[in-house]
Amino acid sequence: MPNAIVIDDKPLTGNSLVQMLNFIGITARYANSARSGVALLREKKPGLIFLDINMPGVNGFEFLSFLHSQPALSDIPIFIVTSDDQPETARKARMLGAVDVLIKPVSIELLQSALKRAKIVFIS
């Protein structure tokens, strides 16, 4: 079964996304910071990452840059999940390697649509 990591400093948002992913057949784990996200990455390489931008400490842009600088991790599709709907935010995220930008609140329909656009084939 495919797996994912959701990194968001807001537990309600992160856990909600984890539940949606689990519902559509993707085993997901939650990390409340970039640091705890790295710990999960070390345990098991995910097939997907869902990443918030506005987090304390290391923000999503910095984490995205870090991931793409690591050869063993640079092939993981990364979806940005943010409440920042500014075009510049989406442009910067894509420039740094994100495959898509989802604006919060994320519905299961929006999630499935984004996975299909990215040609992620393990959607139930």
Domain assignment present for 113: no
At 41, list the tokens: 């990455």
Percent of the chain with pLDDT strictly greater than 70: 96
Domain assignment present for 23: yes
In sequence order, the β-bridge partners of residue 48 are 4
Confidence of residue 104 (pLDDT cuts 50, 70, 90): very high
Question: Does residue 48 or residue 119 have the better pLDDT?
Answer: 48
Query: What's the domain count of the chain?
Result: 1
Average pLDDT over residues 11-31: 96
> What pLDDT score was predicted for residue 121?
62
Domain assignment present for 110: no
Domain assignment present for 34: yes
Domain encompassing residue 72: 3-94
CA 53 to chain centroid: 10
DSSP state of 59: -
Domain assignment present for 117: no
Task: Give the model confidence (pLDDT) of 36-78 as tens digits.
Answer: 999 999 999 999 999 999 999 999 999 999 998 999 999 999 9
Domain assignment present for 32: yes
Crossing angle of helices 60-69 and 34-43, rounded to 10°: 30
> What pLDDT score was predicted for residue 120?
80
CB 51 within 8 A of CB 28: no
Domain assignment present for 116: no
- Torsion sign, CA atoms 60, 41, 121, 23: negative
pLDDT at 123 over 80: no
CATH of the domain at 81: 3.40.50.2300
> What pLDDT score was predicted for residue 122?
56
Domain assignment present for 99: no
